[in-house]
Amino acid sequence: MLINSQFSCPVLNNKLTMTVNFFRALICINLLQGCYFRKDEGTHSTVHTSDNLGLRKRENIHKTLRYDRPSYNSDQLILDKLVEVYEKTIKPLEDAYNYNDLPIRTDMTAGQIKAKPMVLFLGPWSTGKTTMINYILDTDILRVGAEPTTSEFTVVNYGEKVKNTEGVVLISDKKKEFFPLEKYGQNFMERFKGVGLPHPLLKKITFVDTPGIIENRKQQERGYPFNEVIQWFIDRAELLFIVFDPTKLDVGLELETLFKQLKGKESQIRLILNKADSIASQELMRVYGALFWSLAPLINVTEPPRVYTGSFWPYEYKSNTNVQLFKQEEVSLLQDVNGIIENRLENKIAFVRQHAARVRIHALLVNEYLTKFKEEWTFFKDQDNVAMHMITHPEAYNVFRSVQSRQGISQFDLPDVKTYIDFFSKHSLLSFETLQQQCGYFSGCPMDHLDEAISIKLPALLEKVNRIKSSGQRDEL
C-alpha cells in the first residue's frame, strides 16, 4: 500500500517523497496524531479550496474517539444469547405469519443482531456528507465534489487494507447484515458498494454514505426503490447524521419524504449545519433559525433534535469565525459516535425488543382477522367473498379495535388497513392458522414464548448487561 499511496499526516502538511513519508509516519505515530493513508492525488477529486487552507490538527478526534477501546468476551456472549432469543421466540411467529412480506418494514437476521453499530449519513446533495466520513477517518478515499457526487450507497467498513467491494459480494453472505438487501434487485446492486479501510474506529462501527437528495429529480428515476432502500438503512442505523449546507438550504418535497421516513427515529437524529465557517456568524444564526423553521413541521416531537454547527473537513477553520464553538460541537458529535459504541448491546436489545413487539402486533392482527372470519363464515356463504369483505372493511368487524383494546396496543403502533389489503393480496387469509392452532402439547404456544421474550427474557438480558458493565469484570477478547 505504501507504494501506491501518499502518506498524509495532519501535522505535516507538505507532499513528500516515499522516504520522507516513512519518517513522517514515525513522527506521526510518536505524536499520536494517528495517520492513515490517502490515495494518490489524481485518482480522486481533490477537495483543496482556492483559499489554500492548511490542514487542521486532529487531537480532538483522537482524544474523543479512543480507538484503543477493547472488545469484550462477554459482549459476544450477550449477542449470542440475543440471537438465540430471536431465533427461538420471535422467528417462529415471523415465519408463521409471513411477517417479512409486510410492505412496511423490517426484516431481522442473526447477521444484523451481531452487526457493528451503523452511522448513516443523509441529506441534500453536496452538503459534505462524504467529506465528513473522509475527515473522521483521516482519508480521502471516498470521492467528493461540488456537483452531485455519491451515486452509490457506500458501506465503509474495516479492512486490513484499502479495498473496494461490489454490492453483490456484500449481499451474497447470508450470515451478514446486508443479505436482506438482495430483495431490492439488480439495479440497486449496481448502486451499492463497500469500502474497506484499515482504520481502528471501523472495528467498532460502520459508516454508510448515501447519495444526496436532489429536489428537482424524482427518486424513482434512480432505477431502484430509493425510498425503500433508504428506509432499510434508517431502520437499522443507530445514529443518523442529516447534513445541511448553510449556503443552500432547500427544503423541498424530497427532503420532506425523507423526514417522514425518519418517524420513530427522532432520538437518533442529529442535524448538522456543515461548512459553518464559510459564512459570517450573524448570517449563521439566521440560517440556524431558518433551518429549524423549515424543518419544524417535519419533525413531530416535543424535544427539538440536536443540531451541530461546524465544519467537518480537514482544512483549518477560516479566520474570524467561531472556531471555539465549532471545535466543541465537533467533540459533542464525536461523543455521540462514542455513545453508540458504548451502548451497542443496550441498543441491540432494544432493537430486537421493538422488532418483537411489531411481530407480535402483526401476529395478533392476522389472528384477529381469522377469528372474526370463523365467527362470520357459515356453510352457506362463499369463503373468499367473506374474507375479501373482511380485509377491505375490517372496521365493520372491529378487527383493529379489538386488538387495540384487548391487548392494550396504542393506535399509533397499528399498521393501517391498506397495509393488510396489500399483505393479504400476497397471502390468502385462509392459508394461516390461528394462534391457538399453533400451540403444541409439549412445545407450548408461540405467542406465549414471544410474550415471555418481550416482558422477561429481553429485560433480563438488559439487566445482565448493566450488571456486567457496572461490575467492571469484563474479559477482553
- Which residues of this chain interact with Mg ion, rule CB under 5 A? 129-130, 149-150
Distance CA 431, CA 138 (A): 55
Distance CA 44, CA 242 (A): 24
Q: How many positions of this chain bind ligand GTP (CB under 6 A)?
A: 22
Q: Residue 373: which of ligand GTP, Mg ion, none does it interact with, CB under 5 to 8 A by kind?
A: none
Taking the least distance from each CB to Mg ion, the nearer of 9 and 230 is 230
Taking the least distance from each CB to ligand GTP, the nearer of 148 and 225 is 148
User: For 160, phi and psi rounded to 5 degrees?
Assistant: -60, -30
Taking the least distance from each CB to Mg ion, the nearer of 106 and 150 is 150
Residues 6+ apart with CB under 8 A from 472: none
Taking the least distance from each CB to Mg ion, the nearer of 93 and 141 is 141
As beta bridge partners, residue 78 has: none
Residue 259 touching ligand GTP (CB under 6 A): no
Q: Residue 274: which of ligand GTP, Mg ion, none does it interact with, CB under 5 to 8 A by kind?
A: ligand GTP
Q: Residue 128: which of Mg ion, ligand GTP, none does it interact with, CB under 5 to 8 A by kind?
A: ligand GTP
Taking the least distance from each CB to ligand GTP, the nearer of 179 and 288 is 288
Taking the least distance from each CB to Mg ion, the nearer of 24 and 129 is 129
Tell the burial category of 8 from Cβ atoms under 10 Å away from its Cβ (0-12, 13-18, 19+): buried
Which positions from 303 through 342 interact with ligand GTP, judged by CB under 6 A? Answer: 311-313
Quick one: which of 89, 126, 139, 438 contacts ligand GTP (CB under 6 A)?
126
182 and 161 Cβ atoms separated by less than 8 Å: no
Quick one: which of 148, 159, 264, 339 contacts ligand GTP (CB under 6 A)?
148
Residue 82 CB, nearest approach to ligand GTP (Å):
34
Residue 207 touching ligand GTP (CB under 6 A): no
Distance CA 258, CA 234 (A): 10
Residue with nearest beta carbon to ligand GTP: 212
Task: For residue 150, give the nearest of 160, 137, 141 by alpha carbon.
Answer: 141
Q: Residue 97: which of Mg ion, ligand GTP, none does it interact with, CB under 5 to 8 A by kind?
A: none
Residue 147 CB, nearest approach to Mg ion (Å):
10
195 and 170 Cβ atoms separated by less than 8 Å: no
Distance CA 2, CA 472 (A): 40
Quick one: which of 60, 149, 338, 402 contacts ligand GTP (CB under 6 A)?
149
Distance CA 275, CA 471 (A): 43
Tell the burial category of 14 from Cβ atoms under 10 Å away from its Cβ (0-12, 13-18, 19+): exposed
Q: Residue 278: which of Mg ion, ligand GTP, none does it interact with, CB under 5 to 8 A by kind?
A: ligand GTP
Residue 274 touching ligand GTP (CB under 6 A): yes
Beta strands in 64-167 (DSSP E): 118-122, 153-158, 163-166
Residue 155 CB, nearest approach to ligand GTP (Å):
15
Taking the least distance from each CB to Mg ion, the nearer of 130 and 157 is 130
Quick one: which of 97, 125, 184, 244 contacts ligand GTP (CB under 6 A)?
125
Q: Label each residue of 284-351 as H, E or C.
A: HHHHHHHHHHHHHHHCCCCCCCEEEECCCCCECCCCCCCHHHHHHHHHHHHHHHHHHHHCHHHHHHHH
- Residues forming contacts to ligand GTP in the complex (CB under 6 A) are 47, 125-131, 144-146, 148-150, 211-212, 274-275, 278, 311-313
